[in-house]
Amino acid sequence: MTSQESQPPQQNRGRSLDAHLNRYAARTAGMTASEIRALFAVASRPEVVSLAGGMPNLSALPMDSLATEVARLVAEDGQVAFQYGSAQGVPELREQITEVMALEGIRAHPDDVVVTVGSQMALDTVTRIFCDPGDVVLAEAPSYVGALGSFSAYQAEVVHVAMDDDGLIPDALRAALEAVHSAGKRVKFLYTIPNFHNPAGVTMAVERRAEVLEICARHNVLVLEDNPYGLLGFDDQTYPALRSMDEENVVYLGSFSKTFAPGLRVGWALAPHAVREKLVLASESATLCPPTFNQLLVSRYLATHDWQGQVKTYREVYSERRDAMLSALEQYMPPGCTWTKPDGGFYVWLTVPEGVDTKAMLPRAVTQRVAYVSGTAFHGDGFGSRQMRLSFCYPTPERIHEGVRRLGTVLRDELELLATFGNVAQRPQLGSESPSPDTA
């Protein structure tokens, strides 16, 4: 035994709840459970109408024919399907992915596609290769909560850029770039969801797209285009992808989670060639390779099923639910509320009257058996407390109607309290009326 060993340990392991507390990396301090995650337990109770989750509605998937397909995959190609594959992904699937992207005007080579474990992994990997701590990422206000999580995990700073009903506002983008540059900070990329935005439900106007690309190119800022919902336009309309207008300065993210099935976790990134090489290396470090089995199943599904017919079915499913939500909102929302009218995707963005705090109100809503996600979850800067995201993807139209009715009641109660007592959110206790659900 050396003399050093007989001395007390250099650091005190302590008796705190987490004995490993002083061992974590700096980035780990920023890892906290998202508001959406904390909601999962509550939202899954059958008596609660959840307008909170983003789970696709899979009731229309042809399970019998998928069962046959997957059995055939194992029997015919099991030795390949169950084996390691390349970090970049199965070549035949990457070829098919270029055909999927062609529907939105993208011309791409399979060599520039990287298959990932859902597009979340693509988001995470892009952030990993580009962002040093303190780098700035521009994102719409509001923005996708999973993206904000990845940006935070790599200690990037998010600067939000305002939207209106036509999506990201070019003048706001210019102003944000100027402000960040003036502060001496480095912007790594603009993260944008141009189509049927999560959570805002709006779509970037076509005439704005070239302008946004031009502003970013001029400021030497990469564009990270996240497009999981692009084929889910209710008027059967698709919009030209930003990537279709700029091959050099856009990294494009796609996913089969909304057009096929999220439980397979198959997404992808399309990147300029040099960036693609870095993405593959980062992906290899993250998972060695995406699951071969899942990639071959998606490939067979695309080849043997009428997958575009299935997407059309999904559009009809979601369109009917969007209609149910919009008509219920008209019927039940108190005066002073406004909301977006999505032409596709999963989400409506609701703004409530001044004084109501959607995050503080959530426990009371859950008591009334309706759940949503507070707008604060979609901001990296604490804003969004007058907003909430309502998702119409999963429940039946009848449940959506009932959920919005309950929400209307909660809001009217809240406004009444507010008129009587002032800002309810500031009151620490309301006695026995104050519930303590899991989400509080």
Q: Which of residues 142-171 bind a copy of itself (CB under 8 A)?
A: 146, 149-150, 152-154
Which residues within the stretch 364-423 sit at the binding site for a copy of itself (CB under 8 A)?
Answer: none
Nearer to a copy of itself, 19 or 102 (CB): 19
262, 355, 397, 437: which one contacts a copy of itself (CB under 8 A)?
262
Query: Shortest distance, CB of residue 176 to a copy of itself, whole angstroms?
Result: 12
Q: Please give the helix or strand (H or E) that residue 250 lies within, else none.
A: strand 250-255
174, 208, 312, 399: which one contacts a copy of itself (CB under 8 A)?
174
Contact 239, 230 (CB under 8 A): yes
CA 106 from chain centre, in angstroms, equals 22
Q: Which stretch binds a copy of itself (CB under 8 A): 22-30, 302-310, 401-409, 432-440?
A: 22-30
Q: Which stretch binds a copy of itself (CB under 8 A): 98-106, 279-287, 331-339, 415-423?
A: 279-287
Torsion over CA: 45, 49, 52, 58 (sign): positive
229, 252, 293, 307: which one contacts a copy of itself (CB under 8 A)?
293
Nearer to a copy of itself, 325 or 393 (CB): 393
Contact 373, 345 (CB under 8 A): no
E strand intervals along 87-166: 113-116, 136-141, 157-164
Question: Do strands 250-255 and 222-226 pair parallel, antiparallel, or not at all (unpaired)?
Answer: parallel
Query: One symbol per residue from 193 to 232: x for binding a copy of itself (CB under 8 A), - otherwise; what is it?
Result: ----------------------x--xxx-x----------
Query: Shortest distance, CB of residue 257 to a copy of itself, whole angstroms?
Result: 8
E strand intervals along 289-346: 338-339
Single-letter residue type at 195:
N
DSSP letters of 25-66?
-GGGGG----HHHHHHHHHTSTTSEE-S------TTS-HHHH
| Sequence-separated contacts (24+) of 415-418 with Cβ below 8 Å | 415/334, 415/336, 415/353, 415/355, 415/356, 418/355, 418/356
Q: How many residues bind a copy of itself (CB under 8 A)?
A: 100
Give dist(CA 183, CA 210) in Å, integer.
27
124, 140, 246, 357: which one contacts a copy of itself (CB under 8 A)?
124
135, 140, 225, 246: which one contacts a copy of itself (CB under 8 A)?
135
63, 162, 430, 440: which one contacts a copy of itself (CB under 8 A)?
63
Query: Shortest distance, CB of residue 97 to a copy of itself, whole angstroms?
Result: 18
Which residues within the stretch 77-116 sit at the binding site for a copy of itself (CB under 8 A)?
Answer: 78-87
